[in-house]
Amino acid sequence: MPSRDIVSNSEEMVGDQLVRRGVADPRILDAMREVPREAFVNPADRGRAYSDCALALAHGQTISQPYMVARAAELAALKPTDVALDVGCGSGYQAAVLSRLCARVIGIELVPELALDAQRRLNELGFGNVSVQLGDGSLGLPEFAPYDAILVAAAARSIPAPLVDQLRVGGRLVIPVGPGKLQVLTVVTKTDHGIETAEYDTCVYVPLLGAAGGN
């Protein structure tokens, strides 16, 4: 069982960082409470696991700020029957949160060490509906497409066409878009007639590496 301090930190995160900023979906708030964020950060950062910031992982990658994970999940509008692709899954934290909101999550990670560690960690923690694949996330995973939602935890210079192609009609792509150190969290919805794009929060993510990331 998690310690009393960890439970308290998790509740404080949900109240101060999520609810206060307008995240209201009870399914998302419950998922953020349930997933033990301290298990997905570097051991040296466990005391800061529930801080209101991103934290460094190996190979120049990060575990996203809790609010951005919740906000991306909110914009993805996941249903219990959905299949989601988590691009740039890093340590597996966002994939674990998404796994409590939909039927299946497929993570893709470019760095072999991170991909292996994420799958091991998710298995040990009992997130049985998540699988992690090694590959170029900017190109997606066409072998498992179409997806109801694709969430990208790294910033592209422009919207990667391969990810849009892998959406189901009605599916949502949630991705930070923009150059340099400031991007806009963008939602692309695939329709029968093309795509609809909406911009939301400004944000800061590490660059999306790979053939279609533009970085």
Q: How confident is the model at residue 7 (pLDDT cuts 50, 70, 90)?
A: low
How confident is the model at residue 123, as a pLDDT?
A: 97
177 vs 36: CA distance, rounded Å: 28
How confident is the model at residue 109, as a pLDDT?
A: 97
pLDDT greater than 80 at residue 4: no
| pTM, 2 dp | 0.94
Contact of 215 with 208, CB cutoff 8 Å: yes
How confident is the model at residue 1, as a pLDDT?
A: 40
Q: What is the mean pLDDT of residues 20-46?
A: 96
pLDDT single digits (tens) 119-149: 999 999 999 999 999 999 999 999 999 999 9
Q: What is the mean pLDDT of residues 30-34?
A: 97
Mean residue pLDDT of the chain comes to 94
Please report, for the chain, the start and end positions of each structural domain, with discontinuous segments joined by +: 4-203
pLDDT greater than 60 at residue 58: yes
How confident is the model at residue 179, as a pLDDT?
A: 86
pLDDT single digits (tens) 180-197: 789 999 999 999 999 999
Active site residues: 64
Q: Which class for 192: exposed (0-12), middle (13-18), buried (19 or more C-beta within 10 A)?
A: exposed
Say whether the peptide bond before residue 146 is cis (omega within 30 degrees of 0): yes
Q: What is the mean pLDDT of residues 104-114?
A: 97
Q: Which CATH number fits domain 4-203: 1.10.287.110, 3.40.50.150, 3.30.200.20, 3.40.1370.10?
A: 3.40.50.150
pLDDT single digits (tens) 139-180: 999 999 999 999 999 999 999 999 999 999 999 999 999 987
How confident is the model at residue 60, as a pLDDT?
A: 87
28 vs 3: CA distance, rounded Å: 22
pLDDT greater than 70 at residue 210: yes
For the chain, the straight-line distance linking the first and the last C-alpha, in angstroms and rounded, comes to 42
